Amino acid sequence: MDQMITHIKSWIYTAAEQIKESFDEDLQVETKSSRKDLVTSLDKQTQEYLTRQILNYDPNAKIMGEENGRDHLTDLSGRVFIIDPIDGTMNFVLEHENFCIMMAVYEDGVPQLGFVYDVMKDEFLWGGKKVGVFRNEQQIKAPKDLGMREGLVGMNTSLYKKNAYNCQKIGDHAMGVRMTGCAGKELIGIILGHRNGYISNLAPWDYAPGCVLLDALGMKFSALDGEPLKLDGRELFIAGTPTAYDEMRAIIANTAI
Amino acid sequence: MDQMITHIKSWIYTAAEQIKESFDEDLQVETKSSRKDLVTSLDKQTQEYLTRQILNYDPNAKIMGEENGRDHLTDLSGRVFIIDPIDGTMNFVLEHENFCIMMAVYEDGVPQLGFVYDVMKDEFLWGGKKVGVFRNEQQIKAPKDLGMREGLVGMNTSLYKKNAYNCQKIGDHAMGVRMTGCAGKELIGIILGHRNGYISNLAPWDYAPGCVLLDALGMKFSALDGEPLKLDGRELFIAGTPTAYDEMRAIIANTAI
């Protein structure tokens, strides 16, 4: 497993260098499902680069990725890599920062390794249950189990705007609401104790890499209704410290879902 | 003026070092107007440190600051320093990042110099109309005049939640809504072209330093109703690129204020 970690980190660092070099070039930006759903030539190039490295390393690997049209796998048997080449594409395009390269590795449906790299901040969270969780090269411990009222909560704009599932009430209880436009950064936030929770509408590649790390640190996450995440298309998502997660779920449960 | 710039930058860098050293110590956190309105011993120490440096340099200076109880000045004659020792205190306490040290210098009511230092990112925006605007040591040009639909808008949580002044409609038009909890970072965002606009409820020390720089770059800002900012207590605030500012103001003007 150590060897695989070394490989994956080197692929992600190389992909990050390629992305940073691209800032001098003209970016090709296209829209997907709406004018706010962007994909760039760099998302695609990065996905292709990471896919090639994975298949060179393990020709039998299955790959689920944001930009290869495979948003679900019929079964999770064998070794599965879940890739988000650029998480926070809007930030990448407009800010040139606040985006992550992310990857998760599953074996027969069991999460093994997660990698979340905030490229411009050079902050790399990686690890898993067996190896521990690291911030760059330093192993980290679980954050404090902050209650909902003691920390900041990350929110999806649309859910917050509509007060869906009492999201505004959750925001009122928290010390503050943050919107960053990058699931990876929000999950890093929980891992480091900078957030007590996060509620959004996410695809598997948005949540799987960070959730491997949250799981290894004893944090809680699920679909918004409390059911296990399905790794199969977009889902309403909630994560948090154990205490804040339970408190948020109690507020959500009082709404008609 | 060059000499004053050199002094102010060195004070702010020194204050930043003192703040970073404090991370190892226990922080004393108190609440002000509500449980979400925090002040720490570091806000106070930093304000006192900066005040001492200013008065050593210019014993006749007037000082308006977040933590010295002077939230307005009866007149702006002479040289006035406006200080925010830690802008984004909540982030400082909970994240240990995403906060700024800020200072503005006015002469007889005319803005001269602005300083906004994102401490943990080591990103220092400073300058004024006469000297130009710098990011660390590099002079920068005005950002592109993005329209409201082409960029990200920073929003105050409460205004957005209540849809006050059509803020949700503005968010829908923008490419996305961001909430960072730090006015300094939002104004840096406009200066660097990472935001097309920002709407919030701010005190003079929150907006004055960044607005000196926005003004020098031809960006627009005012009270939410379009009137000039009064530098006298808390006000609803709007800033943006010239095009996005006008577009946002038109949407706001359709609401009953």
Among the partner-chain residues B168, B175, B179, the one whose CB lies closest to the CB of A177 is: B179
Choose the mutation target among A123, A135, A178 for the interface with B, i.e. most B CBs under 10 Å. Answer: A178
Q: How far apart are CA B151 and CA A91, in angstroms?
A: 10
**Are A94 and B157 an interchain contact pair (Cβ–Cβ within 8 Å)?**
no
Instruction: Summarize pLDDT for A185-220 with one digit per residue, the tens.
Output: 999 999 999 999 999 999 999 999 999 999 999 999
**Are A152 and B181 an interchain contact pair (Cβ–Cβ within 8 Å)?**
yes
Note the pLDDT of residue A23: 85
Instruction: Summarize pLDDT for A49-85 with one digit per residue, the tens.
Output: 999 999 999 999 999 887 665 656 677 889 999 999 9
Counted residue by residue, chain A has a size of 257
Q: If you measure CA to CA, which chain A residue comes closest to B93? A: A194
Q: If you measure CA to CA, which chain A residue comes closest to B92? A: A194
* Residue A149: pLDDT over 90: yes
Which residues, at least 6 apart from B81, have a Cβ–Cβ distance to it below 8 Å?
B54, B61, B62, B63, B64, B103, B104, B105
Note the pLDDT of residue B1: 86
Choose the mutation target among B157, B194, B201 for the interface with A, i.e. most A CBs under 10 Å. Answer: B157
CATH code matching the domain that covers B2-140, chosen among 3.40.50.720, 3.30.540.10, 3.40.50.150, 3.40.50.970: 3.30.540.10
Note the pLDDT of residue B26: 76
Mean predicted confidence (pLDDT) in A214-239: 95
Among the partner-chain residues B157, B177, B194, the one whose CB lies closest to the CB of A176 is: B157
Contacts of B153 in chain A (CB under 8 A): none
Q: Where are the domains of chain B?
A: 2-140, 148-253
* Residue A221: pLDDT over 60: yes
Q: What is the mean pLDDT of chain B?
A: 93
**Are B194 and A160 an interchain contact pair (Cβ–Cβ within 8 Å)?**
no
Among the partner-chain residues A94, A177, A189, the one whose CB lies closest to the CB of B152 is: A94
Instruction: Summarize pLDDT for A105-126 with one digit per residue, the tens.
Output: 999 999 999 999 999 999 999 9
Mean predicted confidence (pLDDT) in B212-226: 97
CATH-assigned architecture of domain A148-253? 3-Layer(aba) Sandwich (3.40)
Contacts of A99 in chain B (CB under 8 A): none
Highest mean pLDDT among A237-246, B15-24, B41-50: A237-246
Q: If you measure CA to CA, which chain B residue comes closest to A150? A: B94
Note the pLDDT of residue A247: 97
Note the pLDDT of residue A25: 79
Judge contact between A98 and A90, C-beta under 8 A: no
Least trusted range by pLDDT, from B47-51, B75-79, B101-105, B221-225: B75-79
Q: How far apart are CA A130 and CA A4, in angstroms?
A: 13
Note the pLDDT of residue A72: 63
Bridge partner residues of B123 (DSSP): B118
Mean predicted confidence (pLDDT) in A22-41: 84
Mean predicted confidence (pLDDT) in B118-122: 98
Statement: the pTM of the whole predicted model exceeds 0.90? yes
Note the pLDDT of residue A36: 85
Choose the mutation target among A94, A185, A188 for the interface with B, i.e. most B CBs under 10 Å. Answer: A94
In Å, the largest CA–CA distance within chain A is 50
Instruction: Summarize pLDDT for A93-106 with one digit per residue, the tens.
Output: 999 999 999 999 99
Among the partner-chain residues A97, A171, A178, the one whose CB lies closest to the CB of B181 is: A178
Instruction: Tell me the residues of B at the A interface, defined by beta carbons under 8 Å apart.
Output: 35-36, 90-91, 94-97, 151-152, 157, 160-161, 168, 171, 175-181, 189, 194
How confident is residue B29, by pLDDT bands cut at 50, 70 and 90? confident
Judge contact between B154 and B200, C-beta under 8 A: yes
Q: How far apart are CA A158 and CA A145, in angstroms?
A: 27
Instruction: Tell me the residues of A at the B interface, defined by beta carbons under 8 Å apart.
Output: 35-36, 90-91, 94-97, 151-152, 157, 160-161, 168, 171, 175-181, 189, 194
Q: How far apart are CA A83 and CA A101, in angstroms?
A: 8
Q: What is the mean pLDDT of chain A?
A: 93
* Residue A19: pLDDT over 80: yes
In Å, the largest CA–CA distance within chain B is 50
Note the pLDDT of residue A67: 66
User: Token pair of B30, please?
Assistant: 């108190």
Contacts of B23 in chain A (CB under 8 A): none
Note the pLDDT of residue B27: 80
Note the pLDDT of residue B111: 95
Q: How far apart are CA A4 and CA A131, in angstroms?
A: 12
Instruction: Summarize pLDDT for B221-242 with one digit per residue, the tens.
Output: 999 999 999 988 899 999 999 9
Instruction: Summarize pLDDT for B123-136 with one digit per residue, the tens.
Output: 999 999 999 999 99
Choose the mutation target among A152, A163, A169 for the interface with B, i.e. most B CBs under 10 Å. Answer: A152
* Residue B67: pLDDT over 70: no
Note the pLDDT of residue B72: 63
